[in-house]
């Protein structure tokens, strides 16, 4: 997602410096997109979009890309805009660690929703948390990257908590859509008819409308992988445990995604969660009827 987000920033005339752990990818980005090469010592904002909290910590404090980490090289008053999906506790801890070594920097916890498609279109939903001055400084970036910008709290960690709420619903909705369409198949109902009916009824959801067509087709392009929801719903379950919140649906959905990944299908599009339901129903996972 970071590449199309950076492209959108560059298209507006902002000067963009791209960094990536993979040298060949960074070089490709520089050839195609980067509009500056003067190093991070002169940037106004560091936007982070990586896989997990471990990668963020490595980038900020000990990454091989920059001796000592990126945090040590940023200029005074620069913004760190952390947009990856991480646990609320990790988001809070990262912000505290940055403040301990660089109190002169602004830190905003701003995870996003919308996937690669939203990143490409500049229509992400952004859940930003931080002090008012930091949020104000980052607003121009958010207006370029997203269509729905929500200031959900005044301290880092609250953005990540809101993203957990969002991902709980996304994961459960995918699982529910897969369960329903697999039941229709098991009952001998034409899958196209079943999908059209539920898409146009009170049973519909955004995830059903988006993932449903891919569920009834063979595996194809990947917009968001099964493995991503293993991670995201794991964060949801951990956040719920930390908050002592009761989330049985999230835990059930998480186990379904994990079972699918452990079956060797973690890199398939998350719509292919339906394959696990088909197997459990004694059907061909490819959707060809009884196995």
Active-site positions read 163
Within 10 angstroms of residue 23's Cβ, the number of other Cβ atoms is 9
Q: Are 81 and 108 in contact (CB under 8 A)?
A: yes
Place of tokens 């909290």: 53
User: Which DSSP string do the residues of 76-122 spell out, in sequence order?
Assistant: TTPEEEE-S---HHHHHHHHHHHHHH-TTSEEEE--EESHHHHHHHT
């Amino acid at each position: 997602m970071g590449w199309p987000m950076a492209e959108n920033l560059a298209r507006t005339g902002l000067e963009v410096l791209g960094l990536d752990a993979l040298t060949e990818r960074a070089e490709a980005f520089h050839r195609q997109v980067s509009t500056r090469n003067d190093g991070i010592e002169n940037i106004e904002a560091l936007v982070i979009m990586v896989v997990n909290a471990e990668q963020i910590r490595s980038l900020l404090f000990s990454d091989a890309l920059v001796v000592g980490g990126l945090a040590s090289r940023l200029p005074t008053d620069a913004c760190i805009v952390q947009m990856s999906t991480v646990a609320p506790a990790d988001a809070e801890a990262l912000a505290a660690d940055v403040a301990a070594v660089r109190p002169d920097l602004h830190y905003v916890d701003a995870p996003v929703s919308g996937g690669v498609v939203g990143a490409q279109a500049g229509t992400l939903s952004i859940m930003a948390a931080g002090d008012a001055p930091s949020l104000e400084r980052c607003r121009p970036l958010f207006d370029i990257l997203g269509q729905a910008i929500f200031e959900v709290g005044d301290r880092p960690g609250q953005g990540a908590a809101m993203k957990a709420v969002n991902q709980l619903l996304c994961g459960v909705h995918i699982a529910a859509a897969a369960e329903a369409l697999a039941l229709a198949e098991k009952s001998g109902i034409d899958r196209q008819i079943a999908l059209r009916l539920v898409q146009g009824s009170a049973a519909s959801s955004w995830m059903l409308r988006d993932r449903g067509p891919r569920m009834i087709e063979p595996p194809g392009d990947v917009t968001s992988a099964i493995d991503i929801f293993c991670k995201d719903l794991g964060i949801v379950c951990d956040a719920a445990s930390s908050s002592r919140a009761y989330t049985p649906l999230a835990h059930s959905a998480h186990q379904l995604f994990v079972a699918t990944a452990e079956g060797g299908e973690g890199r398939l599009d998350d719509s292919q969660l339906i394959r696990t339901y088909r197997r459990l129903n004694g059907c061909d996972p490819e959707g060809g009827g009884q196995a």
